[in-house]
Amino acid sequence: MNHAHHHAGGAGWWPALLALLVALPYLAAGLRLHRRGDRWPAGRWLAAAGGVTVLAVALALPGAPFALHVAGHLLLAMVGPLLLALAAPVTLALRALPAPGRRRLLRVLHGRPARVLTWPPVVLVLDLGGMAAFYLTDLYALAHAHPAVMALVDLHMVLAGFLLAVVVAGADPLPRRPGLVGALLTLLVAAAGHDVLAKLMYARVLPADGGTPAEIRLGAQVMYYGGSAAEVALAVALMAGWYARGGRELRRDLRRRSAPASAPTPAPR
């Protein structure tokens, strides 16, 4: 088995092309906002640039040794999608699209498929199921024999990771966004599932095609600890969003409490 060609062609031009396909619409929409005088936050620009770069790097990484493949997987399925979710692409699209396009996008967002796809249990099955199928079954060997299968696997990983990041920590509107406790429980199940799968890879020396047992065990540990780091980042993103929302509410309350007292009737003194 030739381990040098893990990601459907290893390196080459197509990861960069794929990154451009994600980046160009975002860039066009953001510039459109700026031209009409609206500001799109710098943090979201940075998150988008970071996310696209991480995806391109992940796709260009060589697939061997196995630990490096796992590092690429973590970037592709967890780090990149989190950054893209923080870039709030749907919010940007809603603001940049002309009215008919916006209506069409809203219809899609409120449709049944979007509601089902962003329901936490479905997101968890897509995310953990994809990872279990790829690393614990023969799909790993199949994907390495057929570049098209690998491309589909990669696409699934990015999209499932993006759904998880959007549901847990994203800034985009959802048909039914879970509350703080729901988002935390979703993250807990995803993180625990990820840890268990990484330990199963270690315990059963899977995927069988990944290399020597020592290489596979090293990769499984990279999966375990790298995954934990990405999960901490997800938790921080979620809680930072909660903290910022609380701060905005506090400031609103403060303004409301000070404004009516001073404006109509000056406090008797």
Partner 1 sequence: MTATGRSVLAGVLIGVGVAAFLDETVFHQLLHWHHFYDGAGLEAGLVSDGIFHAGGWIAIVVGLFLFADLQRRRITVPKRVWAGGLLGWGVFQVYDGLFQHKVLGLHQIRYEVDLLPYDLAWNVSGALGVVVGAVLLTGRARQVEAS
Query: Residue 97 or 239: which CB sits closer to partner 1?
Result: 239
Q: What part of residues 42-61 is at the interface with partner 1 (CB under 8 A)?
A: none
Position 200 contacts partner 1 (CB under 8 A) = yes
Position 244 contacts partner 1 (CB under 8 A) = no
Position 132 contacts partner 1 (CB under 8 A) = no
Among 115, 159, 182, 221, which residue sits at the site for partner 1 (rule: CB under 8 A)?
221
Position 188 contacts partner 1 (CB under 8 A) = yes
Query: Residue 193 or 210: which CB sits closer to partner 1?
Result: 193
Among 131, 191, 216, 223, which residue sits at the site for partner 1 (rule: CB under 8 A)?
191
Query: Residue 46 or 203: which CB sits closer to partner 1?
Result: 203
Which string of x and - marks every residue 16-35 that binds partner 1 (by CB under 8 A)? --------------------
Stretch that binds partner 1, among 70-78, 121-129, 136-144, 184-192 (CB under 8 A): 184-192
Position 232 contacts partner 1 (CB under 8 A) = yes
Stretch that binds partner 1, among 98-106, 144-152, 158-166, 237-245 (CB under 8 A): 237-245
What is d(CA 85, CA 81) in angstroms, rounded to the nearest whole number?
A: 6
One DSSP character per residue, 96-112 reads HS-HHHHHHHHHHHHSH
- What are the phi and psi torsion angles at 30 (to 5°)? -60, -40
Tokens of 81: 């999608």
Q: Closest separation between CB of residue 234 and partner 1, Å?
A: 9
Apex CA 132: angle with CA 119 and CA 148, to 5°? 95
Position 202 contacts partner 1 (CB under 8 A) = yes
Stretch that binds partner 1, among 1-9, 80-88, 97-105, 190-198 (CB under 8 A): 190-198
Among 72, 170, 193, 226, which residue sits at the site for partner 1 (rule: CB under 8 A)?
193
Stretch that binds partner 1, among 46-54, 71-79, 91-99, 231-239 (CB under 8 A): 231-239
Helix-strand-coil split of the chain, %, nearest 5: 80, 0, 20
Binding residues for partner 1 (CB under 8 A):
184, 187-188, 191-196, 199-200, 202-203, 221, 224, 228, 231-232, 235-236, 239-240, 242-243, 246-247, 250
